[in-house]
Amino acid sequence: MSTSNLLTFDVWTGGNDLETEGLFLWSDGSPVPINGSWNEGDPNNYFGQQHCMELAEPHTLWNDMVCGLAALSICEFP
């Protein structure tokens, strides 16, 4: 898989609202900015089942998605 191919997949960011519906936190527990880079209409908690934040193609906006799907992840490092 080339690097360019990696960009054709949705990517997990680590943000989620598993603890409190609608309140998204990063995996370290810090809050996701309420006026962040959400796609228009998201987070929509579609069918009441979307609790994990992804970068969907073309990777410029956030979307809440069903957790547990196999996808690449991005990490923050110092």
> What's the rounded Cα separation, in Å, for the pair 41 and 5?
27
Task: State which residue, 46 or 73, has the beta carbon closest to Ca ion.
Answer: 46
CA-to-CA dists, residue 59 to 2, 9, 29, angstroms: 17, 9, 23
| Among residues 6, 7, 19, 44, the one that binds Ca ion under rule CB under 5 A | 44
Q: Tell me, residue by residue from 2 to 41, as one string, x for binding to Ca ion by CB under 5 A and - for no binding.
A: ---------------x------------------------
- Is 51 a binder of Ca ion (CB under 5 A)? yes
- Kindly list the residues in this chain that would bind Ca ion in the complex (CB under 5 A): 17, 42, 44-46, 50-51, 63-64
